[in-house]
Structure formats: structure tokens, C-alpha cells
């Protein structure tokens, strides 16, 4: 059949060639009419045939034969502009893209490919599917405004289930709409907006983030009816009032307070009798004034399973109800992280000073240390080893660095010494990582850990009546020195192993749960980056 079609087209082209098509009458208007008529009849006669031929040609191209459900999954990794380009690849791709409204529902006004025309196309093809809208936000002479707005932004807002970077300046004064589809809202208060006229109160909101810019904004009670997540940044209200606002919601699970600097310390006792405190799953206090710590670091707010993050650490008396089971101290990244056992929460404390560890070990600390069984210390020497606070310690892993002539010298014996033998009687494991000296260091003849360490092992055997259970050592500085005494170490331990790679690289580091992200900072950040961009091919029908 295809051969016959080819012969038929060849026979037509022999009747007339392109060079023979000339205007041979004086009436140019009539000539234009005749040419238009010929083009129309050519399209009518051969357009469907051309389309059919191109589709059949595409049927032997693998990319054009992908199942619709696979194509849709591929396109979900891309933004709206790439989906629009995909409609021009071939009939199969176009049909797949146009048949799945969610592909068109993410409107990102921060994208370099965004235009009002593209937004209109997305609005048309998204159908009844709720929109996910990210506005473009700029500071324009002290005014926080949304740029690149479409002609009717409220029409988009009314169809949205998720909105990020919305300025109060975009919402008309006294505009009332309960926005039943809206599930997530990130709002930025424009200082020039009269917030007393702002009465937006979505009825089904689950996730709410407000950047107050130190401006006041009312909270209608209807907002809190179903709220699960609440992020408040630069709120000007005092801590006790924020506490009363926050816990108007009985189902709140995640709370983030960021840059809350009001230092008024109003009486907390006045609201305790009226406020019901739900058990939070996550509480993140970042750059807050001391009264906020006093208000929110409470046993009524923080349960055994709450994940707590404080940044930076401040000396506010409080103890979690669940003792810590593991402690991870990373002085390279300046944080301390506590695990509180299986199914319990995590406590993350950001340190403003790498040596500001003293307050963590006193009686008003955030956690109870006496039940800690695992300590991981990274990023610096262990300064003033805290072993007297860790009587239940079973596993200790730490990094050791050759002494620098410009800092206080420290040796392996300062950690693995007599105090460790006497204070941590349950210790079963030592993991030691020795790294190369930094610049401006010198070779210290007293730095001989392979000689010092057997003394620790012998003392352990003499005091406790048994050899030490297990030791792992990684020495990037001078690994050969340990192999020379391997027999001695094996006699003094149940298991001794010299590692050829940093074993902390494969360790399971605990991780503080991610807080909800309301706004996509960069295009495509909300989904994995596509490995290719879709461009039209010559088989575009």
C-alpha cells in the first residue's frame, strides 16, 4: 500500500513543478484568489493523507510508541513549558499531554519560560483539576508585590489547591472567598497593605505559612479548624500571644517559628487554663527571643515523640521527658543531635560557637544524658571529654587530629585514658579516626598513639578483669604504625581491626525530619530534574 501511495504522489508531481507555477494574468486580486483556492483544495485533499503518513512514520520510532501512562510519568518531571513542547513532538505525545490535566496544573510565575499566554493554555487544559501556583515575589521600593500577574489573578486563586509567595497586595481589600479548594498557602505581608481590610480566611486550609515582615495580621478562627502545619516568620506579637494563636488549632502537628524577636515576657499563667496544647510532631525554633523558648519549651507542648530543633542554642532551663539514647556531635557543621530511642523524637541543637558545649551537660540541659549509650563526635578534637555525664555509654566513635602548633595540643590518651576506664564501665566499642595534619603543623615526637593506646587497653583489663570488647581504627595520617603492633592489639581486645576507609562514611547518621516546603526556590526544584528537554521533531503531526 505504501508503495502505491508513493507511485501516486510521483505521478502528480510529474504534472506540474514548482518552477511552472507563475501568475500569468493581469488581475492580481483574481490571481491571489485562485492561488488561495488551490492551496485550500490541496490541504483538503492531501492534508489527511499527509497526517496519516506522518503518524505511520512515527509508529516505527520507539519514543513515539511509548504507552500513554509511561509518557505521562515522564512528562510529570517537567514544567509546563516542556509539556507544551511535548505536544508538538507527535500525535501520541500530544494526546498523552492533553489527556492528563495535572500536567498543566503547576503554574510557576518564577519560571523563565512563564508568560500570560502559557498561563491561559494551562488554565484551559487543566480543566477542573486544582492548580498549584507559585507567584513571583519582589521587593519594589519597600512594597512586597507579585510581578508577571495574569489579567485575572483571582480566577487562578479560586481554582488553586496550593499557593506560594502570595502578597497581601494582590488580594483586593475586603475580598471574601472561603476558597474551598485551597489546601496550602504561603502568604507574605506587604508593609503598605492595610491589613485590617484583609479578611481572607480559607475554610479547608491544612498548611499555612505567613511572613509577617514585622506587620500585624489577624487570624480568623476558621483558618485553624483543620490546620496541620503552621510556619510563622517575623511575627511582631509577643510570645504568649503567639502561643494562644498557635494552639487555637487542636490538630496542629508541625510548628516553625522563625526570626521572632519580640522580647516582651507576658504572664504565661493567664492562658494556661484556657489553652489546650496538642502534642506536636515537629517544633522548630529559629532565631527566636528568649520568651518564645520559655513559652514553647514546655512539657505540655513537647511530648516523647516530638522532633525538636533549636537554632541557635540558648540557655533556657528545660528537659525533654524522654532521655537521650544516642548523641551525635558535629563541630564541623556546628550542631548536636540527640536520638531518644525507637519511635521517639529527635532533638537538634545548632551551636553558635563550636566550643559552646558546656551548657549541654548541666542539669538544665535539653536532655538527660545518664541513659546515653552511643556518642559520635566529629569535626574537631573532643575538648573536655564529657564522660562523667555518660555513665551508660556503650559505644564511642570520635575523630582525632594531629596537634597543631597554633592550638592547644591534644593526644589520643586525652580521650582514651584512665578517666574513660573509670567513668564509662559499660563501654564495649571504640571507633577511632585519625586524620592528616592540617597546614602549618609539625611532627610532634610525643604524638605516638600506637604506643599510648595499649596502655589504655591494659588498664581496662586490669580494672575490669577482661579485655576490651571491640576496636576499629582508621588512620589516614600514618596507617602503617598500627600494623606493626597488630599482635599486641589483638591480645588486648576481643576484636581489633585496622580499616582502610573512613568507616563513618557508611554509618547511619540520624536526620532531623524535613519541614514542609511551601515555596519552590528554583525552577524544577519540587520534582527531580529531567535528564532531557523535549523539542519538536520533523515528525510533528
Taking each helix axis from N to C terminus, what angle separates 28-58 and 2-13, rounded to the nearest 10 degrees? 160
Q: Answer whether residue 385 is part of any domain.
A: yes
* Nearest alpha carbon to residue 433 among 497, 489, 491: 497
Kindly give, in sequence order, each residue whose CB lies less than 8 Å from that of residue 207, ignoring residues fewer than 6 positions away: 183, 184, 185, 227, 228, 229, 516, 518
* Residue spans of alpha helices (H) in 262-328: 269-272, 290-296
- From first to last of its 541 residues, the chain has per-residue pLDDT tens of 556 656 555 565 555 555 556 655 566 676 676 667 766 666 666 666 666 666 666 666 667 778 888 888 888 888 889 899 888 888 788 888 898 999 999 999 988 888 888 988 998 899 899 999 999 999 888 889 998 888 888 988 999 999 999 999 998 888 888 889 999 999 999 988 887 777 788 889 999 999 999 888 888 878 888 899 999 999 999 998 888 888 777 788 999 999 999 988 765 555 554 555 667 899 999 999 988 988 888 877 888 888 999 988 776 667 777 788 888 888 888 888 888 877 678 888 887 754 456 656 654 567 778 889 999 988 877 777 788 888 999 999 998 876 555 455 668 888 898 999 999 999 999 999 988 665 555 555 566 788 889 999 999 999 999 999 999 999 887 888 888 888 999 999 999 999 888 877 766 677 788 888 887 654 444 444 444 343 333 333 3
β-bridge pairing 136-140 and 143-147: antiparallel
Residue 5 lies in a domain: no
Write the DSSP assignment of 441-464 as a string of letters.
Answer: B---TT--HHHHHHHHHHHHHHHH
The 10 Å Cβ neighbour count of residue 56 is 12
- Rounded to 5 degrees, what are φ and ψ at 523? -60, 130
Predicted pLDDT at 438? 57
Distance of CA 506 to the CA centre of its chain: 22
The whole-angstrom separation of Cα 276 and Cα 128 is 39
> In the chain, what's the furthest Cα-to-Cα distance?
119
Residue 9 CB coordination number (10 Å)? 12
Which run of H or E residues covers position 490? helix 486-492
| CA proximity to 285, closest of 313, 317, 257, 324 | 257
Q: Taking the CA of residue 267 as centre, how many other CA atoms within 13 Å lie in the half-sphere pointing to its CB?
A: 4
Q: Are 171 and 201 in contact (CB under 8 A)?
A: no
d(CA 178, CA 203): 5
- Alpha-carbon distances, residue 506 vs 378, 414, 509 (angstroms): 14, 26, 9
- Asked if residue 354 belongs to a domain, the reply is no
Q: What is the pLDDT of residue 334?
A: 84
CA 475 – CA 434 distance, rounded (Å)? 5
Residue with cell 576506664: 421
Cell of 9: 504522489
Residue 85, CA distances (Å) to 90, 97, 345, 435 in order: 10, 10, 46, 52
Tell the residue number behind the cell numbers 489547591, with chain if given: 161
Inside any domain, residue 476: yes
What pTM was estimated for this model as a whole? 0.78
Write the DSSP assignment of 47-100 as a string of letters.
Answer: HHHHHHHHHHHHTTSGGGG--HHHHHHHHTTS-HHHHHHHTTT-HHHHHHHHT-
The number of domains in the chain is 1
Residue 368: give the domain boundaries.
360-515
User: Within 13 Å of residue 125, how many CA atoms lie on the same side as its CB?
Assistant: 25
- Alpha carbon distances (Å) from 63 to 71, 167, 359: 9, 43, 62
The answer as to whether 173 is a domain residue is no
Distances (CA, A) of 539 to 52, 55, 70, 260, 534: 11, 8, 20, 58, 13
Give the integer Cα–Cα distance in Å for 184 and 227.
10
Q: Write the DSSP assignment of 311-377 as a string of letters.
A: ES--------SS--SEEEEETTTTEEEEE-STT--EEEEE-SSTTTTGGGGSTTSSS--TT--EEEE
Element (H, E) at 107: strand 106-108
3-state secondary structure of 233: strand
| Dist. CA 280–CA 273, nearest whole Å | 19
Query: How far is the C-alpha of 174 from the C-alpha of 199, rounded, in Å?
Result: 6
Query: 177 in a domain, yes or no?
Result: no
In a domain, residue 200? The reply is no
Task: Tell which residue, 292, 258, 298, 260, has the closest CA to residue 279.
Answer: 298
Work out whether strand 136-140 and strand 131-134 pair parallel, antiparallel, or are unpaired: unpaired
- How far does CA 499 lie from the centroid of its chain? 34
The three-state secondary structure class of 504 is: helix
Domain annotation covers residue 135:
no
If you search the block for the grid coordinates 540557655, which residue do you land on? 315
pLDDT at residue number 49: 61
Residues in the chain: 541
Per-residue model confidence (pLDDT) at position 318:
72
Amino acid at each position: 500500500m505504501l508503495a502505491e501511495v508513493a507511485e501516486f504522489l510521483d505521478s502528480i508531481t510529474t504534472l506540474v513543478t514548482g518552477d511552472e507555477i507563475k501568475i500569468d494574468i493581469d488581475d492580481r486580486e483574481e490571481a491571489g484568489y485562485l492561488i488561495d483556492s488551490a492551496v485550500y483544495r490541496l490541504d483538503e485533499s492531501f492534508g489527511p493523507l499527509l497526517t496519516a503518513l506522518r503518524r505511520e512514520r512515527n509508529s516505527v520510532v520507539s519514543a513515539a510508541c511509548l504507552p500513554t501512562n509511561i509518557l505521562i510519568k515522564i512528562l510529570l518531571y517537567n514544567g509546563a513549558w516542556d509539556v507544551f513542547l511535548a505536544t508538538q513532538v507527535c500525535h501520541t505525545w500530544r494526546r498523552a499531554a492533553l489527556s492528563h490535566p495535572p500536567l498543566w496544573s503547576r503554574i510557576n510565575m518564577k519560571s523563565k519560560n512563564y508568560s500570560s499566554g502559557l498561563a491561559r493554555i494551562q488554565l484551559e487544559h487543566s480543566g477542573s483539576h486544582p492548580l498549584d501556583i507559585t507567584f513571583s515575589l519582589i521587593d519594589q521600593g519597600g512594597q512586597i508585590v507579585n510581578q508577571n500577574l495574569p489579567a485575572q489573578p483571582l480566577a487562578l486563586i479560586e481554582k488553586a489547591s496550593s499557593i506560594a509567595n502570595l502578597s497581601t497586595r494582590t488580594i483586593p481589600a475586603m475580598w471574601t472567598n472561603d476558597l474551598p479548594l485551597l489546601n496550602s498557602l504561603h502568604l507574605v505581608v506587604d508593609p503598605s497593605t492595610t491589613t485590617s481590610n484583609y479578611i481572607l480566611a480559607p475554610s479547608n486550609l491544612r498548611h499555612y505559612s505567613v511572613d509577617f515582615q514585622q506587620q500585624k495580621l489577624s487570624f480568623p478562627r476558621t483558618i485553624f479548624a483543620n490546620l496541620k502545619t503552621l510556619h510563622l516568620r517575623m511575627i511582631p506579637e509577643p510570645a504568649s500571644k503567639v502561643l494562644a494563636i498557635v494552639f487555637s488549632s487542636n490538630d496542629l502537628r508541625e510548628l516553625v517559628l522563625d526570626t521572632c524577636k519580640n522580647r516582651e515576657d507576658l504572664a504565661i499563667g493567664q492562658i494556661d487554663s484556657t489553652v489546650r496544647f496538642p502534642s506536636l510532631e515537629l517544633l522548630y525554633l529559629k532565631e527566636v527571643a528568649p520568651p518564645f523558648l520559655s513559652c514553647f519549651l514546655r512539657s505540655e507542648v513537647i511530648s516523647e515523640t516530638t522532633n525538636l530543633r533549636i537554632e541557635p542554642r540558648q540557655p533556657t532551663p528545660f528537659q525533654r521527658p524522654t532521655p537521650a539514647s544516642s548523641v551525635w556531635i558535629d563541630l564541623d557543621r556546628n550542631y548536636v543531635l540527640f536520638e531518644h530511642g525507637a519511635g521517639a523524637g529527635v532533638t537538634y541543637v545548632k551551636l553558635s560557637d563550636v566550643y559552646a558545649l558546656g551548657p549541654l551537660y548541666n542539669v538544665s540541659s535539653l536532655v538527660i544524658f545518664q541513659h546515653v549509650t552511643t556518642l559520635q563526635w566529629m569535626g574537631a578534637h573532643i575538648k573536655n571529654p564529657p564522660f562523667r555525664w555518660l555513665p551508660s555509654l556503650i559505644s564511642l566513635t570520635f575523630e582525632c587530629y594531629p596537634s597543631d602548633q597554633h592550638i592547644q595540643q591534644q593526644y589520643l590518651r586525652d580521650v582514651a585514658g584512665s578517666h574513660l576506664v573509670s567513668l564509662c564501665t559499660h563501654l564495649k566499642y571504640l571507633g577511632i579516626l585519625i586524620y592528616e595534619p592540617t597546614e602549618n603543623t609539625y611532627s610532634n615526637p610525643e604524638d605516638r598513639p600506637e604506643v599510648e593506646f595499649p596502655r589504655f587497653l591494659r588498664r581496662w583489663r586490669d580494672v575490669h578483669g577482661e579485655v576490651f570488647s571491640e576496636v576499629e581504627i582508621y588512620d589516614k595520617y600514618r596507617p602503617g604504625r598500627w600494623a606493626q603492633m597488630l599482635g599486641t592489639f589483638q591480645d588486648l581486645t576481643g576484636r581489633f581491626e585496622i580499616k582502610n576507609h573512613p568507616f563513618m562514611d557508611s554509618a547511619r547518621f540520624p536526620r532531623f525530619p524535613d519541614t514542609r516546603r511551601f515555596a519552590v526556590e528554583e525552577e524544577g526544584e519540587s520534582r527531580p530534574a529531567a535528564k532531557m528537554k523535549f523539542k519538536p521533531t520533523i515528525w510533528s503531526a
